[in-house]
Structure 1
Amino acid sequence: MRNSSLALLAAGAAIAIAASTAQAADLPSRYSPAPAYNALPTFTWSGFYAGVNAGYGWSTGTSRYYDPAFGVPGRGKGGFVGGAQAGYNYQMGMFVLGAETDIQYAAVGNKGSSYGSTYYPGNSDGYFGTIRARAGVAFDRALVFGTAGFAYGDIGGNKALDTELGFHRENSNNWGWTVGGGVEYAITNQFTAKVEGLYVNLDTKDNYALADRVNIRRDTEFGVVRAGVNYKFN
């Protein structure tokens, strides 16, 4: 009899535990489920951009004023370069293709030389611009690129004045080409910073006055190293 009572008690306890477990399973959990992992959006170089730049340029060509009687050449110089640029990039996987145009002030003309105080003065002020294709490889927010295209400008040093001979030549626009490359990094999704170098080669001309008395030759070639900041329009 006693064994039967113990068996009944044990069975009742088991039934009660099972019932309470089932009720607990039906209740909402007090803990929230772990949130799903959301990866940060990958940066893209695609889109329009515009910005400003500044740097240094130096003459690499022969820009000289030569008088056979005096043999006085001009001298190329280096100086400040600065301006603005705008362009568009399109990214395909790791590869980025684009186009860019810029306009620059450039103090990389001819220092000139003198015979007395007035012979063959130089003029260092000028400007140039480019319209270029860009192609590069993106490593997330870093872009390594090359660039090449069309160049134009009026680089200082193309003016000559001999008060005795009465010869005067004004500056003029020239056309040519450019090639270069650089590195750009996206600081934020809107702002990027870049460092680049360009070699610019404009038209070469010879000018003569009074037969062969004055020969003015200019090879307008120069290098540029500049840093810039761009704003990317999303």
Structure 2
Amino acid sequence: MKLVLLCSVAFLAATSPILAADLVQPVAAMPFSWTGFYVGAQAGGGWNDSHWSGTTFIPFNTNGSGGVFGGQIGYNYQINQFVIGIEGNLAGSTVKGDNQCSDVTGTVCETKQDYLASVRGRLGYAVDRFLVYGDGGVAFTNYKFAEVDSFQQSFGGGSRVGWTAGLGVEYAFTDHWTAGVEWNYYDFGTKSGESDVNTGFFVDNRDTENVVVGKINYKF
């Protein structure tokens, strides 16, 4: 009897690790979801193409560049591997360009941008924590157009409304923090402005811009 009992105890001791391993199954990690609100910051650069034209001078450009820095807020909703969303952003801008005014030697004309904003829809494709997307929507800015040499004058700058479209990539390095890079093209069309010095003298300005920013977001 004692021998049978000892054998039973030995058998249970030998098999208990195997039984425990069978009972404890590994828990599969939950796939990352892009669904949710987020808020973040951005910084990068902008390259402006400002084309000046008019009836009294030869057309010319005041192409320029500068920094773009601000923030964004948005919402994503994931359906399988597709991610749809909406985002609004507002950024200060130091984009500025200058050039000789038409063919008038010794004169300098300048295009300067104060801010850049947009509201864009987004459509992306997610592979777990990696997201690639395209976007498009309405854009807002404020430009100043001026001759800045000794005979200073401005040419009816101000708020502009246009459109934007672009591409981006984003990676979630934790469940709440994501980072990425985004490129957008902006088109603000043509606006005619009258000189504040020479009454009846109008300048047409057509403005487009390319912007590349790095972004970091906190997802709630």
TM-score normalized by the length of structure 1 = 0.76
The aligned residue for residue 3 of structure 1 is none
The amino acid across from 1:128 in the alignment is L
CA gap of 1:74–1:27, structure 2 versus 1, over 3 A, is: closer
The aligned residue for residue 28 of structure 2 is 39
After TM superposition, the structure 1 = structure 2 runs for residues 1-234 of structure 1, keeping only pairs within 5 Å, are 17-18=3-4, 20-21=6-7, 31=17, 33-34=20-21, 35-62=24-51, 64=52, 68=56, 71=58, 73-113=60-100, 119=107, 121-156=109-144, 158-160=145-147, 168-208=154-194, 214-233=201-220
Shift of 1:159: 3.3
CA gap of 1:216–1:162, structure 2 versus 1, over 3 A, is: farther
CA distance in 2: counterparts of 1:87 and 1:208, whole angstroms? 38
Paired residue secondary structure (2:20): coil
CA distance in 2: counterparts of 1:109 and 1:167, whole angstroms? 17
CA distance in 1: counterparts of 2:134 and 2:59, whole angstroms? 39
The one-character-per-residue Cα deviations of 1:44-102 (angstroms, maximum 9, x if unpaired) are: 1111111111112112342x26573x647451111211211110111111010100000
CA gap of 1:206–1:33, structure 2 versus 1, over 3 A, is: same
CA contact (8 A) 1:65 1:215 kept: no
The one-character-per-residue Cα deviations of 1:126-168 (angstroms, maximum 9, x if unpaired) are: 2110000001000111000000011111134x2357976x854
CA contact (8 A) 1:108 1:222 kept: no
Give the aligned CA root-mean-square deviation in angstroms. 3.1
The amino acid across from 2:215 in the alignment is G
Paired residue secondary structure (1:204): strand
The one-character-per-residue Cα deviations of 1:161-191 (angstroms, maximum 9, x if unpaired) are: 7976x85434311111100011100111111
CA gap of 1:78–1:173, structure 2 versus 1, over 3 A, is: same
Q: Give the gaps of 5 or more residues in structure 2.
A: none
The answer to which structure has the higher strand fraction is: 2
The amino acid across from 1:43 in the alignment is F
Q: How many percent identity over aligned positions?
A: 30
Q: Give the gaps of 5 or more residues in structure 1.
A: 1-14
CA contact (8 A) 1:108 1:155 kept: no
CA contact (8 A) 1:176 1:200 kept: yes
Based on CA coordinates, which of the two structures has the bigger radius of gyration? 1
CA distance in 2: counterparts of 1:23 and 1:152, whole angstroms? 80
Shift of 1:220: 1.6
